[in-house]
Amino acid sequence: MWIAALAMTFAFITGAEGPDALPSARVLQIGSTQSMEAPPFSFYGAAQSDKAGNLFFHISAGSYRRPVVLKLDRSSGDPTLYSLDDTDMQKAVFRQFSVTPAGQVSILCQMTDGKFYVLRFSSKGTLLEKIPMDLPEQLSTESFVAFDSGTFLLSGFYGGQAEPELRGKGFMALFAESGKMLKKFSSAESVDLKSVSQRISEGGATVGPDGNIYLLQASQVLVISESGKIVRRIRFQKPGSASAVKIAVSQNLASIWLLKAGEKKSVTADYLVLDLFTGKPFGYYVPGKDLGSAAIAVSFTSHEGFTFFDTQNGHVDLISAPLK
């Protein structure tokens, strides 16, 4: 008896207790719609937002590899494009992008010479600097997130072209604004290279209102301070077929996008919201039918709930679906 009590106390202190089971699903319904002037466009992967609620998309400019990010101002609907000139564009392959809470855009690219660069842009979309990164060429990136200070964190894994002993091994490091590596973490998650490409790519990260990075892994969230200390681990459960692809943090809530590929290869998303005070599930949400057959949210806040992107009326509509 006392051994069990001791074990539970130890688990609570170390945060090593298992994740809580998923709560029953609640259906998200349309709350309000904000019509934007922008004509329909498509984008790749998860959209991002800054603390003002502006939305940022890796917009489809012909190919996934093209490093083009579009900002839509949430109040005016005005666009800003973050991109390269034609010459650089031909040499760059998009890997990830990050938007800081203040709205600065950085794009992680790999160039034809195999080298990685972080492209940092002004608020008007002008390229400010091209920061060379000392990263292995065979790295497959999963998460890239920048602080307002310029420090950034990058995680991924070594691909099949890496040295045999590195293949599938995880990589996670914190970098200074200059691109210099400040800290390499030993706790990076490894992957099974045979199965990793069979599902939608997992991983995401954001800077929370407390100034920490919330790094999303397959079944846990790592909370990392700007100095590189892992301050917390929050484990979560998800349906077996789902990929955890994006995390958003607002006040005491963290929302995790769980994507599933359907039978017809459509993509659907459910949302697990965690209470950061307790580390336990706050709710599990599925989009209602009125949001469309393939509704994928573009942002989340605790007061507005989820915002969905739709184009069925010939322009972009942002549809809010509050939490219940």
* Member of 209, 266, 280, 322 binding another protein (CB under 8 A): 266
Q: Which of residues 124-143 bind another protein (CB under 8 A)?
A: 137-138, 140
312 is a contact residue toward another protein (CB under 8 A): yes
* Shortest Cβ 131–another protein spacing (Å): 18
Edge to edge, the sheet with strand 127-133 lists 92-99, 105-111, 116-121, 127-133
Residues 74-93 that bind another protein (CB under 8 A): 78-79, 81, 83-86, 89-90, 93
Instruction: Kindly indicate which of the ranges 10-18, 209-217, 231-239, 307-315 contains the residues binding another protein, using the contact rule CB under 8 A.
Output: 307-315
Residues 216-245 that bind another protein (CB under 8 A): none
Report, in Å, the least distance between residue 212 CB and another protein: 26
Name the minimum Å distance from CB 191 to another protein.
10
Asked if 15 touches another protein (CB under 8 A), the answer is no
What sign has the CA pseudo-torsion 19, 25, 30, 35?
positive
Pairing of the two strands 280-287 and 267-275: antiparallel
271 near another protein, rule: CB under 8 A: no
* Exposure letters 259-273 (e unless 16+ CB within 10 A, then b): bbeeeeeeebbbbbb
- Tell me if 201 contacts another protein by CB under 8 A: yes
In one-letter notation, the amino acid at residue 46 is A
By beta-carbon proximity to another protein, the closer residue of 101 and 168 is: 168
Virtual CA dihedral for 113, 44, 120, 145, nearest 10 degrees? -100
Q: To the nearest whole angstrom, how small is the minimum distance from the Cβ of residue 267 to another protein?
A: 5
Q: In this structure, are residues 131 and 178 in contact, taking their beta carbons and an 8 Å threshold? A: yes
* Number of residues counted as binding another protein (CB under 8 A): 71
Strand-pairing partners, residue 273, are 255, 283
Q: For another protein, which is the closer residue by CB, 150 or 156?
A: 156
Give the rounded distance of the alpha carbon of 137 from its chain centre. Answer: 22
- Write phi, then psi, for 212 (nearest 5 degrees): -95, 155
> Which of the residues 42 through 71 are near another protein (CB under 8 A)?
42-45, 59-66, 68, 70
Check if the beta carbon of residue 76 is closer than 8 Å to that of residue 53.
Answer: no
